[in-house]
A and B are shown apart, each in its own frame.
Chain A
Amino acid sequence: MNEQDSIARKKLEQRQLGRRNLIRVAAGAVVGAGLLRPNPAFADDDEHEQTARALTNPIPGFITPFKPFGVVVHHNPLKPANRLDMAHISDPSQITDFDGFVGLTHISGSGTGTNTVTGASAILAFGADMGFSQGKFIGIDGRHHEGTFAFV
């Protein structure tokens, strides 16, 4: 392993450790409420998907929507008030060390949800934050890459 790989690995381990600690703090805070339980959220992530995705670095900015319970979210949500005031938007990219095109949308709507067992259907409202990034970036390995990503 060369020095560059070693630094990248150390950086990744630090991030993962920081995140585990944050989750532990959040879990500890709700023990009294009886909500502590094994975290299933990432248990069945396919390893190859995680490997393919773990190449980019997040933007440094973040929000904590459910502080102190939630994880840190490296994302700047679009604010409808900025629709005619683009000069004051925050970085719409989720990836840092990035040079390329970004698209982001905050959109709402409705559609039909169907229970495929009973056949019953109902009109349901939705809100969606979707987007993309396409261009070049410096990966966690310190090297230049090109890629296309969907924000889902």
Chain B
Amino acid sequence: MYAGPVGLANQIHDYNVHIDSNDVFWMIPVEHDAVKVDFDDPRASLQVNNLRVFDDHDLANSLTLGMGLPGDLGFPYPKIDPVAPVRATVSFDVEWSGIANHAQIKNSAQNFKGSFLSANATIKWSAEQPGFRFESEASTNLISVLGREQNGVFFA
């Protein structure tokens, strides 16, 4: 979330569930019914209410574990002050529908294969934490994908 034009230097909230102790990125188990998929129609939805997350303030602090970025050592990043995460809750309803494109992929380099659809998507979400509340009003799909895939040991 940004106060001003979208960009790291203007980011004021970054909600995520943190990387888990096994290095899986931003994934958290949810109820089976939270996800509904109809790959033939095709459409899908992800609905979760009051999920406990962290607000890391910005992506740089999220991915440097709260250490920020120095900004003065010749790297192409702005200076980002260190910020400790705070607890927050988010609720969201993401909907995928329609097909813009389709591909059958077998990628031996990345060990994954499957059927993939480029879909339209919308999101309605809200966040709440001490002193702040957010409610989304409009969204614009940039790229969204639905897939039926196999990877790792299931790739053959």
Question: Which chain A residues have a beta carbon within 8 Å of chain B's beta carbons?
Answer: 12, 15-16, 19, 23, 26-27, 29-30, 32-33, 35-37, 39-42, 44-45, 49-50, 52-61, 65-66, 69-75, 78-80, 82-87, 89-117, 122, 124-128, 130-134, 138, 140, 147-152
Contacts and interface: CB of A to CB of B under 8 A. Distances in A.
A96 B19 CA distance: 15
Interface in B1-59: 1-6, 12, 15-32, 34-35, 37, 39, 44, 46, 48, 51-54, 56, 59
Interface string B136-151: 1111111111111111
Contacts of A39: 65-67
Nearest to A96: B152
B102 A86 contact: yes
23 contacts: A39-B66, A41-B65, A53-B28, A54-B21, A56-B27, A66-B69, A69-B77, A83-B118, A86-B145, A92-B145, A107-B141, A107-B142, A111-B136, A111-B138, A113-B132, A127-B6, A133-B27, A134-B32, A148-B32, A150-B35, A150-B46, A151-B25, A152-B27
A138 B133 contact: no
Contact of A97 (B117, B125, B152): B152
Nearest to B31: A148
A148 to B, nearest CB: 5
Interface in B55-113: 56, 59-60, 62-70, 72-73, 75, 77, 82, 84-85, 87, 90, 92, 94, 96, 100-103, 105, 107, 110-112
Contacts of B68: 35
A35 B69 CA distance: 8
Interface of B: 1-6, 12, 15-32, 34-35, 37, 39, 44, 46, 48, 51-54, 56, 59-60, 62-70, 72-73, 75, 77, 82, 84-85, 87, 90, 92, 94, 96, 100-103, 105, 107, 110-112, 116-118, 121-123, 125, 130-154
B46 A108 contact: no
A16 B24 contact: no
Contacts of A33: 70, 72-73
Given A74-B24, A116-B133, A128 B123 contact: yes
B56 to A, nearest CB: 7
